Amino acid sequence: MTGPYPPQYGAGPAGPQGFSEPYPQQYPPMGQAYPGGRLDAAYPGTLPPPVQYGRPRRRRWIAAVLALVAVVAVVGVIVAVVLTRGNGDDTPRGALTEASAKAAIQNYLDALSNGDDETVARHTLCGLYDAVKERRSDLALASLSSDAFRKQYSSAHVTSIDKMVLSSPTQAQVLFTMTVTPASRSTRNAPQSADEQAVAQLLSIDNEVLVCSYLPRTAGQY
Domain positions in the chain: 59-89, 98-216
Q: Are strands 153-168 and 194-205 parallel, antiparallel or unpaired?
A: unpaired
Q: Does residue 122 sit in helix, strand or coil?
A: helix
Query: Rounded to whole angstroms, how far apart are CA atoms 192 and 178?
Result: 13
Q: What is the pLDDT of residue 11?
A: 47
CATH code: domain 98-216 is 3.10.450.50
pTM of the predicted structure, to 2 decimals: 0.57
| Mean pLDDT of all residues in 79-101 | 66
Give the type of residue at 20.
Answer: S
Q: What is the pLDDT of residue 190?
A: 52
Q: CB–CB of 200/174 below 8 Å?
A: yes
pLDDT one-digit tens code per residue, 131-147: 999 999 999 999 999 99
What secondary structure does DSSP assign to 98-129, as a single string? HHHHHHHHHHHHHHHHHT-HHHHHHHHTTT-G
Query: Rounded to whole angstroms, how far apart are CA atoms 206 and 76?
Result: 25
How confident is the prediction for the chain on average, in pLDDT?
A: 76
Helices then strands, counting H and E runs in the chain, come out as 4, 4
